[in-house]
Amino acid sequence: MKKIYFILLLLVGLILFYTLRFYKIEGTSMNYSLMEGDYVLTYRLFKHIERGDMLVIRHPEDPEGRLYLKRCAALPGDRFFQKNRSFYLQIDGNSERTQKLANTHDLALVDTKDGYFIKDPYMKYYDVVHNWRLTVPKVLIQLPVTTVQDGHYYVLGDYRDNSADSRFFGAVPRTWICSKIIYIFKKARNWKMLINIKEVDEAGSKRRWQPGKMPGK
């Protein structure tokens, strides 16, 4: 009987090891949804990706092969553009559906020559932030209307002014996505810690912009 229990425990352990991953957050690119010292539990065998999901991805240009964590901002077929640090999203490239969704959920809507787009849809639900004192490159501020190609996902950091993400390396193919966050273990926040982060941000605004460290293993 003990042998059977041991085998069962071993099988459960192997299944959990294969399907789940546990990571500690480093860097500031997902502030303030995730902060340094937080831990996340991720699931590898997910079937679907939704807008707003936080994903662990392989960075195509990282020489160390580290894993990065970003939020899915647009799905295959979605259209988007960036203007003055705001992200505009058109669901499935369908202007009428986008207008209906925005009106139903009280989201900011803009009418353009390319149809209706939702303005900054994620700022209502997630801790997406900007550092307005930080001078950032044009690639983070102005992007033309773009359609996400099939099998690819457009990902962004929540700290939009200090994140190396799809604005630099484009939408990522599904094969680059390793797992999806299913639970967050947040360390205790305190006022002093948050104030110190703000001071670092303000000091950084006086320097030339550089992407921050990404969350990895």
Which of the residue ranges 43-47, 103-107, 154-158 would you say has the lowest mean pLDDT?
43-47
Strand-strand pairing, 54-58 and 67-74: antiparallel
In angstroms, the CA 93 to CA 137 distance is 27
Closest CA to 128 of 168, 156, 98: 156
In a domain, 5, yes or no: no
In a domain, 216, yes or no: no
| DSSP label at residue 44 | S
Token pair listed for 153:
């996902």
Q: Which domain holds residue 129?
A: 20-204
167: buried, middle or exposed (CB in 10 Å: 19+, 13-18, 0-12)? buried
- Split at pLDDT 50, 70, 90, the class of 204 is very low
- Split at pLDDT 50, 70, 90, the class of 42 is very high
Q: Are 28 and 212 in contact (CB under 8 A)?
A: yes
Q: Are 87 and 120 in contact (CB under 8 A)?
A: yes
Q: Is the pLDDT of residue 212 over 50?
A: no
In a domain, 15, yes or no: no
Can you give the pLDDT at residue 208?
A: 37
Can you give the pLDDT at residue 139?
A: 73
- Split at pLDDT 50, 70, 90, the class of 190 is confident
Three-state DSSP state, 56:
strand
Which of the residue ranges 4-13, 52-61, 103-112 would you say has the lowest mean pLDDT?
4-13
Q: Any residues with CB less than 8 A from the CB of 140 and at least 6 apart, and which?
A: 82, 85, 160, 161, 167
| Count of domains forming the chain | 1
Sign of CA dihedral 89, 92, 95, 99: negative
Q: Which residues of 30-59 are buried (b: 16+ CB within 10 A; e: fewer)?
A: bbebbbbebebebeeebeebebebbbbbeb
Q: Is the pLDDT of residue 16 over 70?
A: no
In a domain, 209, yes or no: no
Q: Is the pLDDT of residue 196 over 90?
A: no
In a domain, 164, yes or no: yes
Q: Is the pLDDT of residue 18 over 60?
A: yes
- Split at pLDDT 50, 70, 90, the class of 92 is very high
Can you give the pLDDT at residue 2?
A: 66
Only one residue has tokens 């990902």, namely: 155
CATH of the domain at 108: 2.10.109.10
In angstroms, the CA 112 to CA 123 distance is 21
In a domain, 86, yes or no: yes
Residues paired with 86 in a beta bridge = 83
In a domain, 211, yes or no: no
In a domain, 75, yes or no: yes
Higher per-residue pLDDT: 194 or 124:
124
